[in-house]
Amino acid sequence: MTSYSLRVGCSIRDILTPALVVDLQKLDYNLKRLPESLKGININIRPHAKAHKCPSLAHFQIKHGSVGMCCQKLCEAESMVTGGIKDILLSNELVGKSKLTRLALLARNAHITVCIDNEDVASQLSHIAKDLNVELDALVEIDVGQERCGVPPGEAAVNLARHLTSLPNLHYKGIQAYQGWNQHIRKYNDRKAAVDMVVTKVKVTLEALRKHNLPCEIVTGGGTGTYIFEANSGVYTEVQPGSYVFMDADYGRNFDQKDEYVSDFRQSLFVLSTVVSVTPGQRAVLDAGLKAISLDSGVPVLADYPELTFNNGGDEHGIITPAGNFKVGDTVWLVPGHCDPTVNMYDNLIGIRNGIVECVWPISGRGPGV
Ligand code: PLP
Ligand code: MN
């Protein structure tokens, strides 16, 4: 693979495109804003590393009061622990001896908690942990409406929690109750109502667990769109927002309480692209296509020209219509539709401030998951 080295201190004009760039002033704002928005509420913050997969950034989140990081994939967790993060929740299910062994090995250097929705996997992980002489914590994941992983609320959670308490080296600590779809419900009151339904399922489960003398030390969930509701519910002990550090065009379409666009966090992440071809009066073509920016949550927005439209131009191109006044060689700042899969395409995150490259952070946890 060819690559070029981008030196800290050089001008943003020296960045070759397409490139993943973060505006550090806006990032700083978001890092401060999250704990500020939860001031006075008794809740732990455990941001999700799936958004950035970047230990350097995780350290800033810890500095701003986070208790540790969430990871969705083993490669994210390994990169965080290698990068010096000491407390990880694997907020997902892992399967197979090899992955469970690698997860257990992380417990030599960090406090590891994992989500479980299957008795056999729990037993296997417990055996592996015992053999390696390490201890891990475990949460029962309950399905609160996403219909993805997790056992149903109530009795099924009790049965799995009871099984966990019978296992050595794997310690039952509580539940994870995360509902991803709720994050992107546009209207504030609809979003709140959807979280109320989740909270009802959590309460039913907590009551059932209490009856069986299985109290929850940890109740975790909530992303960028809803964490404020989970935090105020009185039942969650921890929230897991990830995208808040960067934001994206999709989150930009959520409304706040006054039916205005959510302004709590600033758009800090951009894909920097270059105009490579212009057909005057018709289109301008960018060097950023499907390999540079994800389209799963809608097309990117042009940060400085929101009235123009990005059209899918295939693997290597984005087509801007109408053509605007672009010339070949102009740079264009794109707001990704969805931050997480866009970040996953890049080796490095380039941090800029006042037109200067201030840092180049490896996205060491990127990849499909192994
Ligand atoms: N927690 C879990 C389990 C997730 O799957 C996700 C995102 O998919 C998040 C937290 C963070 O969500 P967001 O990036 O929307 O804040
Ligand atoms: Mn996402």
Same domain assignment for residues 280 and 243: no
| Distance of alpha carbon 88 from alpha carbon 73, whole angstroms | 11
Q: Give 222-280 pLDDT, tens digit per residue.
A: 999 999 999 999 999 999 999 999 999 999 999 988 777 656 899 999 999 999 999 99
Determine the 3-state secondary structure of 261 from DSSP: strand
Asked whether residue 261 is assigned to any structural domain, the reply reads: no
Share of the chain above pLDDT 70, in %: 98
Res 2 pLDDT > 60: no
Count of alpha carbons within 13 angstroms of residue 340, beta-carbon side: 19
Shared domain for 335 and 192, answered yes or no, is: no
Number of domains in the chain: 2
| Ligand that lies nearest to the alpha carbon of residue 251, given by its number in the listed order | 1
The span from the CA of 70 to the CA of 79, in Å, is 12
pTM: 0.97
User: Is the Cβ–Cβ distance between 77 and 71 less than 8 Å?
Assistant: yes
**339 vs 51: CA distance, rounded Å:** 7
DSSP per residue over 79-130, as a string? HHHHTT--EEEE-S---SHHHHHHHHHHTTTSEEEEEE--HHHHHHHHHHHH
What digits encode the pLDDT tens for the residues 51-85?
999 999 999 999 999 999 999 999 999 999 999 99
Q: pLDDT higher for 257 or 148?
A: 148
Beta strands in 154-268 (DSSP E): 170-176, 218-221, 238-239
What integer is the mean pLDDT of 95-108? 98
The CA-based angle 266-269-270, given to 5 degrees, is 125
Q: Is residue 103 part of a domain?
A: yes
Closest ligand 1 atom to 243 CA: 14
- Which residue among 253, 287, 303 closes a domain? 253
Could you list the residue range(s) of the whole structural domain that residue 53 is in?
26-253
Q: Whose CA is nearest to atom 1 of ligand 1?
A: 240
**143 and 275 together in one domain:** no
Q: How far is the CA of 340 from the centre of ligand 1 (A)?
A: 10
For the residues 124-132, what does the mean pLDDT come to? 98
Best residue among 38, 50, 147, 246 to mutate for probing ligand 1's pocket (most ligand atoms within 8 Å of CB) is: 50
Q: What is the reported pLDDT for 3? A: 59
Residues 96 and 165 in one domain: yes
Q: 201 and 144 in one domain? A: yes
177 shares a domain with 31: yes
| Average pLDDT value for residue range 206-217 | 97
Whether 7 is covered by a domain: the verdict is no
CATH number where 78 lies:
3.20.20.10
Rg (CA), the chain: 22
* Domain harbouring 336, CATH code: 2.40.37.20
Mean pLDDT, rounded, of the chain: 96
Residues in the 5 Å CB sphere of ion ligand 2: 340
The answer to whether residue 363 scores a pLDDT higher than 60 is yes
